[in-house]
Amino acid sequence: MKAYISKSNLVDYDSLIAVRSILDIYGVEAKEYTGGRYSSQPIEDADLMICISYPSSKDRNYIYVGKGIYIEIITALHEKVIVLMYEAGNFYKIKETKVFDIGDYRKKFGRIEIFPESVKDIGKFLKAVPIRDKEKKEEKDIKII
């Protein structure tokens, strides 16, 4: 399985290391943007995306994200990639996404509504993530004229 880690520029590095370690334990190949020329290809190639916003970004059933993570979430959802949010040691499934404050690119550009219950067994969840068939996706993208 392939995963893409979407992270805030304000990420807490302990959280980032925790997510990398969990994915490594379960044999998940993880990619993330590390600088230079940006491409959405690693998201398009992924089966799962895990997003890590800035510390204390969770407010009840919402997690706020900057513009970069928000755009990556929209891209992943469009590509039918499963998306999880990571906050304070817990993984959450996404319920809904909305632009929240168009002027706040760093922290509150997007508001991600999450299901209140966190994923209880991340190992079991990861084993159940279907591997996306990239060939079928490409076939669906071809239009017959």
Chain-centre distance of CA 25, in angstroms?
A: 18
pTM for the whole thing? Answer: 0.89
Between CA 93 and CA 144 the distance in angstroms is: 36
pLDDT score for 139: 47
With b for 16 or more beta-carbon neighbours within 10 A and e for fewer, the 68-86 pattern comes to: bbbbbbebbeebebbbbbb
Question: pLDDT band at residue 133, thresholds of 50, 70 and 90?
Answer: confident
pLDDT score for 145: 44
- pLDDT of residue 40 exceeding 60, the answer is yes
Q: DSSP string covering 71-133, please?
A: HHHHHHHHTT-EEEEEETTEEEEEEEEEE--TT-SSSSSEEEEE-SSPPS-HHHHHHHSPPP-
CB atoms within 10 A of CB 47: 19
| Structural domains of the chain in order of their starting residue, each with its CATH number | 2-132 (3.40.50)
